[in-house]
């Protein structure tokens, strides 16, 4: 019995990225039958979206520390204010 792939929602960023890289490599190799290629592509797309979501969440947490003229921290602001 083949192991079921781990649910993408349960994956950490690094784990999802590693699997995505393996999928890309296998698709670039061209040695995968068409039906398996399509299934891998679909999982790869879901992994890409998951990684993008995790990165966006991490970016929201990253803040830049504001410093006063005396060099003392005065608060924080978004890293890339829009």
Percent of the chain topping pLDDT 90: 57
CA dist., res. 56 & res. 30, Å (int): 32
CATH number of the domain encompassing residue 66 = 1.10.287
Domain-located, residue 1: no
Angle of CA points 6, 22, 44, to nearest 5°: 60
Q: The domain containing residue 14 runs over which residues? A: 8-78
Which of the four pLDDT bands, split at 50, 70 and 90, describes residue 1?
very low
**Measured CA distances, 46 to 9, 15, 18, 42 (Å):** 10, 13, 13, 6
pLDDT in tens, 3-60: 788 999 999 999 999 999 999 999 999 888 999 999 999 999 999 999 999 998 887 7
C-alpha to C-alpha distance for 65 and 74, rounded to whole angstroms: 8
pLDDT value of residue 60: 76
Establish if 3 belongs to a structural domain: no
Specify if 59 maps to a domain.
yes
The number of domains in the chain is 1
Note the pTM of the prediction, 2 decimals: 0.72
């Amino acid at each position: 019995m083949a192991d079921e792939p781990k649910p993408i929602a349960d994956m950490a960023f690094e784990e999802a990225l590693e699997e995505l890289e393996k999928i890309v490599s296998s698709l670039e190799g061209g040695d995968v039958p068409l039906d398996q290629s399509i299934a891998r592509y679909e999982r790869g797309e879901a992994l890409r979206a998951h990684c993008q979501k995790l990165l966006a969440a991490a970016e929201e947490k990253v803040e830049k520390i504001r410093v006063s003229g005396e060099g003392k921290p005065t608060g924080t602001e978004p890293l890339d204010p829009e």
